[in-house]
Chains A and B, each alone.
Chain A
Amino acid sequence: MGRVLKFIVCLLITGALFWVYQNKSGEIPPIGKFFSPIQGFWNNAESDKSFTYSSSNIVGLKQPVTVQFDDRLVPHIFAKNEADLYFMQGYITAQNRLWQMDMQTRVAGGRLAEIIGPKLLERDRESRRLGLSWGASRSHALMMANPQSRLIATSYCNGVNAWISALKPADYPLEYKLLDFEPEAWTTMKTALLLKYMSNMLTGYETDFEMTNIAKLYGIETLNQLFPEFPDSLDPVIPKGTQFVRTDTIQPIHPDSTYPSQLALLHNPFSRPDPGYGSNNWAISGSRSASGKPILCNDPHLGLNLPSIWYEVQLHAPGINTYGASIPGAPCVISGFNEDVAWGITNASTDVKDWYIVTFKDKFKQQYLLDSTWKPVRTLVEEFHVKGQRSVFDTIRFTEHGPVTYEETFNKRHETVNMALRWTAHDFSNELVAIYQLNKAANHADYLKATNQFDCPGQNFVFAAANGDIAIRHNGKFVKRYKQQGRFLLDGTKSNTLWQGFVPDSDNPHVLNPERGFVSSANQHPTDQSYPYYYTGTYDYYRNRRLNRLLSNLQNAKPADMMKIQNDNFNLCASELLPYFFALMPVADFTTTEKEAARELKNWTYINDTDVGAPIYFQLWLDGFMEKLWDEFKVDQRALLAPSFFETWSYLKRFPDSDFIDDKSTTKTETLPFLILQSFRNAVKLADNWQTENPSKPFTWANYKNTTALHLSQQLAFSISNIQTGGNEDILNATSSRKGASWRMIVSPGSDGEFWGVYPGGQSGNPGSKHYVDFIDQWAKGKYYQLLFLKPGEKHKRIQHVNQFNP
């Protein structure tokens, strides 16, 4: 009897172990599947091989394709026709970045709960309510209607699927094994979704709720003092004094009211992308370079993610030869060059996303008011698959404006206001064909023609050609606004607040070969006030001024000088604010540490280098000061926004006795000197605390900032922390703790050109590869790799692997 019991117990334990080993429980992956050295994560360890050659057959190819991988694992794809070229781009990108491609489209499409579980349902709902997949489906239709974009999107898709279909579970990327799900087939729709993911990242930020609330609380005059639309020291993308022509002579009609004043203060439940996703780009003409040829530079600042947001590639087929950074999941090269020209991007930062307050007839929300008629609401029921649960459904209502995104069913505070979203990211557009044509551009006219089709996200496209031309254009589909339209929430019951058209492409701010010998942008205002169209946005005020100052002093510049500029750590904000702070700070009974900190700050050269301590004090001081100064803007979670550093500084210069300085929660009256002193003392205390909490770390800016390239799953195990870099937001080297130059490129285009680049990651998305993060050190040090722009048939000593693919 004892034996029977013993047997049953053993059998049960074995069975229980089997269950635990085969299923994911909580955060713990299925142990057996995961640890098996044959099928689990160990199988993702790549062995370190020197030169390899392989030849294989792939169904779907028309002609043979050669892919050469260089020592940095950059694929150089040589195809005999374009269908094969993009097929191979898809195939090779999937080989290295499949999980990332899958995840990013799941984020955009609101399909995370499906694989992770109910905790991501609200996030999924938010994505779909924002209409990203709806917008993607519209753009997808346009993409498939154009023969060029259809060919490249379809070929790319087939290539990705050729890779996926050859995978056995043991070959799945590590993250699939950790999260226990499987790759699914790629679709051209996913490419469209990915482009919307970028649109959201770059145009998703707006401040309509905040501006409306502030205008309501303090009046429009104060608002304009705090947030002037055209500050004095503006250094716009298109040089001041440029003459603009307005070809569209029909002026937009201005309605009576600017913002809906009868509303209560609102909060905004939507997470918005960081406004700090900025970038720098510029080109200098031959008159400023040592070689006499233009040099073009670009460094887009995005989240520092692993796998990296970019994937380097060279694409070659008859009629095309281009190299640069691509986005895994989309064909073509986004920021790069070809034999004749080079191009780069920075975010336009111009507002193309507006909220309309709509009035429904009754609680059934089937009709909404427009002028004096009740119009029918269109509904879309979204289904959310949830891991381990039944599907959840959410109804999204559409008015003429767009999806009614803001509703009490989503809004956690159950405010009864309903708001529809009008956003160019929802519109029909075909950015893919624009990028494709740009990849093939041979001259300035081609560049304009190609970028005309690039609607959203709006970008400052910089351009340089081997023939000597340099140009920049504030490019995209921008709203033809009446004055102040889109700065505040809009009244959706009146048709006169609807968008009245778009700025014609020919009128988008543009400059070719300016006298000053350079073109540049760093997310600042595109123009000065003389531009004949109204626009609004969230613009940079520091990087652009520093950049233009450095560029206007350049003579005989070489790529090495450009590298210095991209890695410039000069803190313009500190150089303007610190002398002002010290001048105003009252004399007090300072402690030794405070005296020491003040001395360090006074001796500081305003350079945010890795190994100095002064930037820590400055940052803490400034942040603390801002918090005290703008305490008025923290009311009960309502959507409010404090002015930026620059706006604060220019406001205080004009209104040193502003009422905002006084802390309303205390009985006595605070003055500016008092706030400065108080926040200084507090900053020294906080810096002291940091040192106590981190006894093993030297007190340096890089250690304090703790720049981290974070894996998309948020797993620190696959991330790189405490990267030793200087810079910060508002500095040319815009590397803060989680954002920074996601790709640095310096190119002098032409057959005898020079090509340099680096990004904070590596070509492989596999944490088991030596190419996973192999560029990070180089990137952190501000060093670059010489990019290998191969000619067909060229045998270069840096080529490590050659793969021959046959139909």
Chain B
Amino acid sequence: MSTNSIRKRRAWFWYRMLICIVVSATIQLVAPWWSLIPVAMLIGFFTAPMNKSPFLAGFLALFLLWACWAFWIDLENNSILSERVIRLFPLPHNSLSLILLTGFLGGLINGMAMLTGDIFRRFFLPEEEKYYR
């Protein structure tokens, strides 16, 4: 495989992640939280035919989206809320751990959804590509 195509594949990792962030953010503004699942599945299905880490791309997408969103809210709120809510959980009692937890939980389900979409796509690939992986 050429260096060029490797680079392309790496780039696709980021493209797909960015697409997921943008689409998921837009849809979540109007739809319930779980709309992220079909979004991630569809992106997993339609993009990045040669990507190796669909879970990671999905995970990072929602991790960044939710954590940054939470971080922004937390900044505007002077951490009043986060410092209370974090005490519900057996985690270090600071805002950052709540922000990271939020990102992690979003990332987890999104990564799984994208992985599922990605695997499903592979049923429709030509034989050689199946073996190529």
Residue positions of A touching B, CB distance < 8 A: 3, 6-7, 10-11, 13-14, 17-18, 21-22, 31-33, 35-48, 174, 178, 715-718, 767-770, 772
Contact = CB atoms under 8 A, between A and B. Distances in A.
29 contacts: A3-B122, A7-B123, A11-B116, A14-B112, A14-B116, A17-B112, A18-B109, A21-B33, A21-B34, A21-B105, A35-B101, A36-B28, A38-B69, A39-B28, A40-B33, A42-B73, A42-B102, A43-B73, A45-B73, A45-B76, A47-B76, A48-B76, A716-B87, A717-B84, A717-B85, A767-B80, A768-B77, A770-B78, A770-B80
Chain B contact surface mostly: helix
A45 B71 CA distance: 11
Contacts of A44: 81
B76 A717 contact: no
B37 interface: yes
Nearest to A769: B80
Contact of B77 (A45, A716, A717): A45
Contacts of B69: 37-38, 42
A14 B101 contact: no
Contact of A14 (B77, B113, B123): B113
B29 interface: yes
Nearest to B112: A14
Contacts of B86: 717
A715 B80 contact: no
Please list the 5 inter-chain residue pairs (A to B) with the smallest Cβ-Cβ separation, ordered nearest first.
A768-B81, A717-B87, A45-B77, A36-B33, A47-B76
Contact of B102 (A13, A37, A717): A37
Contacts of A37: 66, 69-70, 73, 102
A35 B62 CA distance: 12
Centre residue among A10, A21, A715 by max chain B CB count within 10 A = A10
Given A35-B66, A47-B73, A178-B88, 18 more contacts: A3-B122, A10-B112, A21-B105, A21-B109, A36-B28, A38-B29, A38-B33, A39-B28, A40-B33, A41-B81, A41-B85, A45-B74, A45-B77, A45-B81, A46-B77, A767-B81, A768-B77, A768-B80
A11 B119 CA distance: 10
Contact of A7 (B73, B105, B119): B119
A428 B84 CA distance: 43
Interface in B66-103: 66, 69-70, 73-74, 76-78, 80-82, 84-88, 101-102
B78 A48 contact: yes
Contact of A18 (B37, B66, B81, B122): B37
A37 B76 CA distance: 13
Nearest to A20: B109
A39 B112 contact: no
A48 B115 CA distance: 40
Contacts of A46: 77, 80-81
Contacts of A768: 77, 80-81, 84
Given A3-B122, A3-B123, A10-B116, A35 B102 contact: yes
A14 B37 contact: yes
A39 B30 CA distance: 10
Contacts of B130: 3
Most chain A CB neighbours (cut-off 10 Å) among B28, B81, B108: B81
Contacts of A48: 76-78
Nearest to B67: A37
Contacts of A36: 28, 33, 66, 106
B32 interface: yes
B120 interface: yes
A39 B70 contact: no
Q: Which of A36, A46, A716 has the most CB of B within 10 A?
A: A36
A22 B34 contact: yes
B84 A767 contact: yes
B33 A39 contact: yes
* Interface core residue of A41, A46, A48 (most chain B CB under 10 Å): A41
Contacts of A178: 88
A3 B87 CA distance: 42
Nearest to A32: B33
A379 B5 CA distance: 82
Given A32-B109, A36-B28, A47-B76, A7 B84 contact: no
Contacts of B78: 48, 770
Contacts of B112: 10, 13-14, 17
Contact of B80 (A17, A21, A41, A45): A45
A39 B31 CA distance: 10
A3 B119 contact: yes
A41 B102 CA distance: 11
Interface in B28-53: 28-29, 32-34, 37, 41
Contacts of A42: 69-70, 73-74, 81, 102
Given A14-B116, A768-B80, A715 B88 contact: yes
